[in-house]
C-alpha cells in the first residue's frame, strides 16, 4: 500500500511499505490491514520521466502516510535527492480511520510520528545506501503543509499539525485530536543535523517534547507552536502568502476550528453547532488575526486546501466528462 509519494523538479520518490490493505480478507476472517513490523521499508528514487532507472533504498520498517516536500540539490559532484516526510512506527492510524482500536499485537511501547529527513546520493555513485536519515523533531507531526508556490524547492519553513496529549501513531482512537499547529524551521534543523552527524534512523535533532517547545520564549526558536484553547480542535491548515510578502513566512495559516463544549451529553454535535475559520499569523504563530463564525459545523476531516478568489473566478469550464453505463 502506498498512500503518498514525493516529487521534485527532476525526481520521483515512491515508498514501498511492509503494509497491505486487502478488503477481500474480510471474507476469510482476516484483518483488512496487515503490517509486518519486522519487515522493511523501501524508497524508490528515479528520474521523473525514466522510471526504469529506479534505485531502491532499504530502511527500517515504518509507516508513511504523507510526504512533506521533495527537492533536488544539484552540486558539481552530482544531484542529491532530498525528502521530508511524516514517519510513524505504528500502523494504528489506519485502524483509527475505521473508528476501531488497533490490535494488541501491533501496539508500540513508544509510538512516534515525527518529521523525518532522507537524503539520497547521486546515481553515478552506484550505492544503495541512504546518506542521511533522521528526525528533525521529537514532537508529533502530521498533515503537513508547504506553501504551494515553494513546493519542490528547498524551503525554510514547513507547517503541520500536532497535539499536546497523545500521538498520531498512538493506539487509542481518542488520541487523534489536533490542538496545535506547528511551524518548523527546517533549514536550521537540517543544518544542525548534518553538522552533528546523527545516527541513522534513531537520530533526532530537537528532542524536546511538545510541552517543552510550548514553554520556550525564544523568538528565534526553530520550532514554534500555536496551541488552541482547551477543548478546541483544528484540522489540516493551509498557508496563504501575503501579496508582495517580504519573507517566506509572511502570510497566514487558515484552518477550521471547533469548540467541543457544544457537544451534548452523548458527545454528539447538535444541529445548531457551529465551527469557525481561524486565520493565524504565520510569522509569530501566536496571533489570531481573524475568526469567521460559520453557519454550521464542519466535521473533522484529514485534509484542507486554500484557493484564492482569482483561482475560483478563473476556473476552466468543463469540456468533457465520462459517462458510465
Annotation: binding site for Fe cation: 3, 66, 303
Q: What span, in angstroms and rounded, lies between the C-alpha atoms of 41 and 56?
A: 10
Cβ proximity of 70 and 81 under 8 Å = yes
Contacts (Cβ under 8 Å, ≥6 apart) of 72: 8, 9, 10, 11, 79, 80, 81, 82
Q: What span, in angstroms and rounded, lies between the C-alpha atoms of 224 and 185?
A: 9
Residue 304 φ then ψ, to 5°: -145, 160
Sequence ranges of the binding site: 3, 66, 303
90 bridge partner residues: none
Q: What span, in angstroms and rounded, lies between the C-alpha atoms of 201 and 135?
A: 7
E-only strand ranges, 190-236: 204-206, 223-227, 232-234
Query: Grid coordinates in use for 214?
Result: 510550548
Per DSSP, 260 falls in state: G
Length of the chain: 325
Per DSSP, 9 falls in state: S
Neighbours of 5 (CB within 10 A): 16
Helix, strand, coil % over all residues of the chain, rounded to 5:
15, 35, 50
Amino acid at each position: 500500500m502506498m498512500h503518498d509519494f514525493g516529487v521534485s523538479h527532476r525526481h520521483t520518490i515512491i515508498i514501498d511499505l511492509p503494509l497491505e490493505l486487502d478488503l477481500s480478507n474480510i471474507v476469510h476472517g482476516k484483518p483488512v490491514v496487515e503490517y509486518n513490523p519486522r519487515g522493511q521499508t523501501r524508497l524508490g528514487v528515479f528520474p521523473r520521466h525514466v522510471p526504469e532507472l529506479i534505485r531502491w533504498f532499504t530502511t527500517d520498517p515504518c509507516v508513511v502516510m504523507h510526504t512533506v516536500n521533495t527537492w533536488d540539490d544539484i552540486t558539481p559532484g552530482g544531484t542529491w535527492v532530498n525528502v521530508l516526510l511524516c514517519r510513524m512506527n505504528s500502523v494504528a492510524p489506519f485502524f483509527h480511520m475505521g473508528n476501531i482500536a488497533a490490535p494488541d499485537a501491533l501496539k508500540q511501547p513508544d509510538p512516534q510520528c515525527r518529521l523525518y529527513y532522507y537524503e539520497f546520493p547521486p546515481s553515478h555513485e552506484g550505492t544503495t545506501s541512504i546518506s542521511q536519515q533522521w528526525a528533525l523533531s521529537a514532537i508529533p507531526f502530521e498533515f503537513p503543509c508547504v506553501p504551494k508556490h515553494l513546493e519542490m524547492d528547498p524551503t525554510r519553513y514547513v507547517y503541520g499539525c500536532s497535539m499536546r496529549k497523545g500521538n498520531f501513531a498512538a493506539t487509542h482512537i481518542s488520541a487523534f485530536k489536533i490542538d496545535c499547529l506547528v511551524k518548523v524551521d527546517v533549514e536550521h534543523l537540517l543544518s544542525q543535523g548534518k553538522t552533528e552527524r546523527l545516527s541513522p534512523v534513531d537520530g533526532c535533532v530537537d528532542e524536546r517534547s511538545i510541552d517543552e517547545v510550548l514553554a520556550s520564549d525564544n523568538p528565534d526558536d526553530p520550532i514554534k507552536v500555536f496551541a488552541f484553547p482547551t477543548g478546541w480542535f483544528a484540522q489540516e491548515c493551509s498557508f496563504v502568502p501575503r501579496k508582495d510578502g517580504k519573507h517566506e513566512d509572511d502570510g497566514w495559516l487558515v484552518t477550521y476550528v471547533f469548540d467541543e463544549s457544544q457537544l451534548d451529553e452523548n458527545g454528539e454535535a447538535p444541529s445548531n453547532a457551529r465551527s469557525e475559520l481561524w486565520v493565524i499569523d504565520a510569522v509569530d504563530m501566536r496571533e489570531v488575526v481573524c475568526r469567521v463564525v460559520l453557519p454550521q459545523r464542519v466535521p473533522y476531516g484529514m485534509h484542507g486546501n486554500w484557493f484564492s478568489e482569482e483561482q475560483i473566478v478563473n476556473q476552466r469550464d468543463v469540456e468533457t466528462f465520462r459517462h458510465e453505463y
